[in-house]
Amino acid sequence: MKIATLSIGDEVVFGEIVDTNAPHIARHLYDVGLKVQRHLAVGDAEEDVMAAIRTLASTSEAVIATGGLGPTTDDITAAAAAKAANLRLELNKKALAHLRRFLAERGRNVDSANKKQALLPAGSGMIPNPTGTACGFHFQLNDCTFYFLPGVPREMARMIEETVIPMLREQSLQDSIIRIRVLKLFGLPEAEAGTRLGGLTGADSPVTVAFQVDFPEIRIKLRAEGDDERLVVRLLDETCLKAREKLQGYIFAENDETMDSVVATLLRTKGLTLSLAESCTGGLLAKRITDIPGSSAYFLEGAVTYSNAAKIRILGVSPRLLEEKGAVSSEVAMAMASGMRKVSGSDIALAVTGIAGPDGGAPGKPVGTVFLALSTNSGCQTREYRFFGSRKEIRTITSFTALDLLRRHLLSC
């Protein structure tokens, strides 16, 4: 089936915003076996919208359009669509009922601006919008079905999932079962991961494997398709297990989990408390830990000890050690972690010291040199790393590496 997206809005076509709706739709359709062939974007001018609709009607079998369904006068999509299809606008009763109910729940009445949102091309079907006033609609033009949705990403996403994808699958006679599993990997280069997963699935296997790099993590998308849901799920489970075996401990999360949420869950379920001593990450690690709601249950405190004086006073690092080994050293990283654990009384303390750049490198300790240390009641471990990239990249990968070290420790204890 030939599918196209159509994004409507001056803000898109003049580049004021980056259109994330079209890629969102394409990705979710791809996941259920439907390939989008082209994306088109035009501004809010009626003639441009009409021309786009007419062109797409002769080249596509399904078009998912977003934008221009709001209550203001510059929202002209419904009117332009009606004109392009030689239909008149009429008050859609289902859409009006939705508007009434939606606004009543918020203690408001339907005013004339809102009422405009219930004027749809005659004969078109209504697409429910559970989270906003703008209903969607669909109609047929030539051999093409047009689906019109609001441009608000959150509203659009839900309508795609709940209504448009089921309708498209029916339209395309696509009724096989498709399931997706995403494994998130950290600490192994993409090429190495690819080699390890070579032969994971055969050439004619109903499971496919795709890689996507989202620095600094790699996402491995496993996709299984078939007629029997139980078989599809079992195949996916088996492939997932095999992939995990081949990649040992490098898979840190699945699907919607993140490194931050996985570490949070481990700390909570193990009932352990955490404190942090940061130098080069400068609070980034604490920010990531406290991004997670409820983190106050296990996170006690963090120290951003940028100056040597702070390392000495707060963490009890010895001035002689700082002088002899330098602030960026495994010895100081360990002293920071041990000191932090002692003063905070936490079960675990994680410390970071390093050179994020762009300046501050020295012979033997170039920009990107980082030491991590993890102090627990069973001792203190330290690791040295050499990262590359911009200040931002070095700080990002350092925080990722530190959380991964913590994750691996929590899994083993």
Cβ closer to a second copy: 161 or 227? 161
* Least Cβ distance, residue 289 to a second copy (angstroms): 7
* Least Cβ distance, residue 1 to a second copy (angstroms): 14
| Pairing, β 62-66 against β 3-8 | parallel
Q: Under 8 Å CB-to-CB from 74, ≥6 apart: which residues?
A: 10, 44, 68
**For residue 164, how many other CB atoms are within 10 A of its CB?**
22
Cβ closer to a second copy: 114 or 281? 281
Cβ closer to a second copy: 293 or 379? 293
Cβ closer to a second copy: 196 or 219? 219
Measured distance CA(327)–CA(319) in Å, rounded: 10
Identify the three-state secondary structure at position 147: strand
- Contact (CB, 8 A) for 35 and 178: no
What amino acid occupies position 36?
Answer: V
- Contact (CB, 8 A) for 406 and 399: no
Nearest Cα neighbor of 382 from 362, 358, 357, 401 is 401
* Least Cβ distance, residue 315 to a second copy (angstroms): 10
* Least Cβ distance, residue 380 to a second copy (angstroms): 21
Cβ closer to a second copy: 92 or 273? 273
Helices (H), 42-189: 46-59, 77-84, 93-104, 112-115, 153-159, 165-171
* Least Cβ distance, residue 263 to a second copy (angstroms): 14
* Least Cβ distance, residue 286 to a second copy (angstroms): 3
Cβ closer to a second copy: 177 or 300? 300
Measured distance CA(86)–CA(323) in Å, rounded: 82
Cβ closer to a second copy: 62 or 95? 62
Nearest Cα neighbor of 160 from 58, 53, 261, 28 is 28
* Least Cβ distance, residue 169 to a second copy (angstroms): 17
